[in-house]
Amino acid sequence: MKLRRILVLLLIPFLFTAATAEAQTAPFKDVSASHWASDAIMWAHANGLVKGYADGTYKPNTKLTEAQLVAITFRYFLNDEVPATNQKHWSDPYYAAAEEYGLPLKGYQSIQKRNEPATRGLYAEILGNLNGVVDGNLAEVVDWMYEQGITTGRTGKGTNLDQYDPTGTITRAHAAAFFQRLSNLGISKPVDRTEKDEVATDSKPLNVPPFRSGTGFANSFDTTAVQPTATAWNRLSRFSGPAKFKEAWHISFDYDRAPGSLFTLTHSPVIGRDGTLYVREGFLYDPSAAGKLYAIDPNGKLLWERTIGSGKASPVIGKDGTIYAYGDVAVFAFSPSGKIKWEKKLGVNGSLTLDNEGRIIATYTPSIGLGVKVAAIQPDGKEAWSRAVDADSQSSASRYPVVAENGTIYMLGRSGNLFALAPNGTTKWVTQTKAYDGTLSLGPDGTVYIAATYFALEADDHISSGGIVAITPEGKEKWRSNAVDPTTLSTVIVGSNELLYVAGHNKIAALHTNGQTAWTYENTDDFGKAALTADANGTLYSVWKLYNSADTIISFTGDGRLLQKYTLPNAAEEVDSNLLIGPDRSVYLAVSHEEYNRLYKLGE
């Protein structure tokens, strides 16, 4: 989607300095010549930024809605030249333009949110975004507004941000005054983000070894990135983890949600080539609300956030640095600076990975109907193919697919069927595993390992505790084990010592590749759920989500000897992801709380 910026924007300074005598006649019966914003309202009306009501009023004291603010913004900055859309709501074209610029709006997927009052903070964020000020850092944007003379504040107390009153609302009179001030200051066009995006995409990588998904997996991710996927790899980090845990920093994301909703930071973050972390927000109790994708710099500073909708699939990073994330009903592609490249609507409960050709392989449930679908999306957002699988399933799509080195796509349906698809989407084979839910891993010999959360016992859907299933590349079952009952955070790690590691409810187990148990570790202090990852030295790091005490990180040697325990300082925080090991002997961990989400960096 290309905006016709250059020719239009060159005309804007002329359009907004050529106020005519006609503009000096008050067009609205409720705006007298003595009204404090009379001149600004007349100017805004004469230049097409604002309109009145059918009764001849302007209603200057009425609170401006988000949709109205977005419309005025693009009437001003783009002279109303906005992309054509299949318009269902009068503001749709303006929100389409806002998406291209990555503006932090709540109304992308909710008409109700569009009609809510806009805040002074939102106005500042929009202005900062369009003028190239630091994305996502409201305090720096407000400081810039003071420097430019755009604002003088409201309260007169505290920091510039405090004085600005970012939570305060904007009236229709304030809106006219704000934009007239921009015109008087000569701030009349957005910066061209293309150059910034190219710089970010080609930014100098950190001095780290190239990423490899692991033997058996496709390796179509950004190999210069620190960690381009949280799921479709062998979980054997090329970095050494910390010998001791000490908080380096944390960043919190306060809830701004409807009462009763609870959002979590789901999965581990992924990390770009310059050290930027990307983590997405999911939901527990309010799937209708809109979750976000966050970008955080290596020092724990928020760079930008984008509303993409609720979901629990981790983002991935493509070879060119593009960040792909699955929202509530669509796949989004963002540049490293947060500019949206495209959006592809598919269905709900989606997850994704990348294949050998760099295509996005997405599994999802159709918005209407049952079953599971899978689609291959080209890097430019165009669909290569899509097809239905597991049509009889009455549950949501599998947590995420994996792609083998030979291009075979594996996905687990919620009816227990494991599907192997060719790169063109045709079925190679289907086998019934009775794994009702679970995650997939690949061994170096092509074996598919399922960490099953539940097993279906009979056709009447009675279920039992889970376990591990090993399937040959031809779709035949090799063995299954109940040595451990995997959790939703679990996956099978194929160690370099020919042992398989998996975490479960209250237990961690090591298995030989024939399915026999090598050793187990049980947590006898409290009952909980565990997840697991391994560092470059073979040290295992496990995070335990405990029910009656604070969550804990435990590290082991590869043969099961306990090394250390670290208890999270706040017992009210709950772990929502596996550990991610960073390049500087650090780990990253996402937690949730009743009042916030938080991402920790822990190091030595």
Regarding whether 429 and 284 lie in a shared domain, the answer is yes
Regarding whether 178 and 77 lie in a shared domain, the answer is yes
* Whole-structure pTM value: 0.68
In whole angstroms, give the CA distance from residue 596 to residue 601: 16
| Predicted pLDDT at 26 | 55
Distances (CA, A) of 286 to 20, 82, 340: 51, 32, 25
In whole angstroms, give the CA distance from residue 435 to residue 464: 10
Regarding whether 293 and 148 lie in a shared domain, the answer is no
Distances (CA, A) of 176 to 39, 180, 212, 224, 265: 9, 6, 54, 47, 39
In whole angstroms, give the CA distance from residue 450 to residue 17: 66
Between 493 and 10, where is the model more confident? 493
In whole angstroms, give the CA distance from residue 325 to residue 317: 9
Which of 170, 195, 220 is the endpoint of a domain? Answer: 195
Residue 23 lies in a domain: yes
| Predicted pLDDT at 109 | 73
In whole angstroms, give the CA distance from residue 430 to residue 420: 6
SS3 480: strand
| Predicted pLDDT at 13 | 37
Q: How does DSSP classify residue 288? A: T
328: tokens are 């509530």
Regarding whether 475 and 556 lie in a shared domain, the answer is yes
Regarding whether 44 and 107 lie in a shared domain, the answer is yes
- Are the beta carbons of 528 and 571 closer than 8 angstroms? no
- Are the beta carbons of 376 and 189 closer than 8 angstroms? no
Residue 236 lies in a domain: no
Which band of pLDDT confidence, cut at 50, 70 and 90, is reported for residue 503? confident
Residue 220 lies in a domain: no
Q: Which domain holds residue 99?
A: 6-195
Residue 544 lies in a domain: yes
Lowest mean pLDDT among 238-252, 307-321, 376-390: 307-321
The pLDDT tens digits of the residues spanning 465-495 come to 788 999 999 999 999 998 887 766 678 898 8
The conformational region for residue 473 under phi > 0 = left, psi -120 to 50 = alpha, else beta, is alpha
Nearest Cα residue to 475 out of 538, 419, 556, 523: 419
Count of structural domains, the chain: 2
**What's the angle, vertex CA 529, arms to CA 269 and CA 507, rounded to 5?**
120
The pLDDT tens digits of the residues spanning 339-370 come to 888 889 888 888 899 998 899 999 888 766 56
Regarding whether 457 and 391 lie in a shared domain, the answer is yes
* Order of strands across the sheet that contains 330-334: 316-317, 323-326, 330-334, 340-345
Between 463 and 301, where is the model more confident? 301
The pLDDT tens digits of the residues spanning 137-177 come to 788 888 888 888 888 888 777 888 888 988 899 999 999 99
- Are the beta carbons of 56 and 28 closer than 8 angstroms? yes
Q: Where are the alpha helices (DSSP H) in 331-417?
A: none
Regarding whether 486 and 337 lie in a shared domain, the answer is yes
The pLDDT tens digits of the residues spanning 94-138 come to 888 887 777 888 888 788 889 999 999 899 888 888 877 655 578
Residue 492 lies in a domain: yes
Which of 157, 172, 195 is the endpoint of a domain? Answer: 195
Residues, the chain, total?
604
- Are the beta carbons of 451 and 492 closer than 8 angstroms? yes
Average pLDDT (579-586) is 90
Q: Which amino acid is at 428?
A: K
Regarding whether 253 and 165 lie in a shared domain, the answer is no
Regarding whether 187 and 252 lie in a shared domain, the answer is no
| Tokens 């991710």 sit on residue | 221
- Are the beta carbons of 503 and 486 closer than 8 angstroms? yes
In whole angstroms, give the CA distance from residue 476 to residue 429: 10
Distances (CA, A) of 585 to 41, 137, 480, 601: 58, 28, 35, 10
The pLDDT mean for the chain works out to: 80
Residue 266 lies in a domain: yes
496: tokens are 């370099």
In whole angstroms, give the CA distance from residue 424 to residue 264: 35
Residue 232 lies in a domain: no
302: tokens are 């928020």
Regarding whether 472 and 567 lie in a shared domain, the answer is yes
| Predicted pLDDT at 452 | 84
Regarding whether 553 and 477 lie in a shared domain, the answer is yes
In whole angstroms, give the CA distance from residue 377 to residue 359: 5
| Predicted pLDDT at 373 | 87
Is the per-residue pLDDT at 15 higher than 50? Answer: no
Which of 195, 225, 254 is the endpoint of a domain? Answer: 195
Regarding whether 558 and 459 lie in a shared domain, the answer is yes
Query: Looking at residue 318, which CATH number applies to its domain?
Result: 2.130.10.10
In whole angstroms, give the CA distance from residue 163 to residue 333: 36
| Predicted pLDDT at 410 | 94
Which band of pLDDT confidence, cut at 50, 70 and 90, is reported for residue 453? confident
